Amino acid sequence: EAQVTQNPRYLITVTGKKLTVTCSQNMNHEYMSWYRQDPGLGLRQIYYSMNVEVTDKGDVPEGYKVSRKEKRNFPLILESPSPNQTSLYFCASKPRGRGGEQYFGPGTRLTVT
Amino acid sequence: AQSVTQLGSHVSVSEGALVLLRCNYSSSVPPYLFWYVQYPNQGLQLLLKYTSAATLVKGINGFEAEFKKSETSFHLTKPSAHMSDAAEYFCAVSDSNYQLIWGAGTKLIIKP
């Protein structure tokens, strides 16, 4: 089944404790992206990647890191999480081209205390 | 630069009534437009998309949208609302760099 998977789905952590949220897709998509979703603010892009070893900042990259060493994986790293990073995070992937739809993972709900 | 405006953060309709969710865009290139739906506690899934073919696009679950270039609009409609349509709906436009520019979302509330 074509899908984007994220792990963990739920995470409660403390300020400053490094964490990684994994994202994997099995559709051979070139493009991958991370978003955060907060009430009243819609979807905001954190980072995206147009292909392996190519990553770019989105609208809200501060406090986050990503890497794209393999086509299928695009982990999101929070080196020193803070309470303002408490949010719902989505990973997405899409094929090359403007008309291709984005496929979303199920989301990771992160709480930083 | 591309942008998307969704009119109304919340829209409430009665079950069986017409659903109309508004989306206006601006784009410096011929637009590709998308509607996504997010059910409670789930990720986003594609409802329908416009990619320069037919201006009336049919999607899943009885939804459709009409691309109107003169009005720069891509409004989403469904003739008869069902309780299961309660969700948040997002409109998006694809920019020239393959990125999606997102609207702020509209929560659809269905009254019994």
**Does A3 score more than 90 pLDDT?**
yes
Q: Is the Cβ pair B43, A48 closer than 8 Å?
A: no
Mutation target to probe the B interface, by most B beta carbons within 10 A, among A36, A43, A94 is A43
Q: Of A27, A36, A38, which is closest to residue A5 (Cα–Cα)? A: A27
Residue B1's pLDDT is 76
* Tokens standing for residue B6: 């969704």
CA pair distance A113, A83, nearest whole angstrom: 6
Residue B75's pLDDT is 98
Mean pLDDT for the stretch of residues A2-9: 95
* Tokens standing for residue B1: 């630069």
- B70: which residues sit within 8 A by CB, 6+ positions away? none
**Does A88 score more than 80 pLDDT?**
yes
Other Cβ atoms closer than 10 A to A71: 16
Model confidence at A83, pLDDT cuts 50, 70, 90, reads very high
**Does A100 score more than 90 pLDDT?**
no
Model confidence at A57, pLDDT cuts 50, 70, 90, reads very high
Are B63 and A3 in contact by the 8 Å Cβ rule? The answer is no
**Which residue has better confidence, A92 or B3?**
A92
Which residue numbers in chain B have pLDDT < 70? none
CA pair distance A30, B68, nearest whole angstrom: 31
Cβ contacts (< 8 Å) between A5 and chain B: which residues? Answer: none
Give the whole-number percent of chain A exceeding pLDDT 90: 88
Residue B99's pLDDT is 84
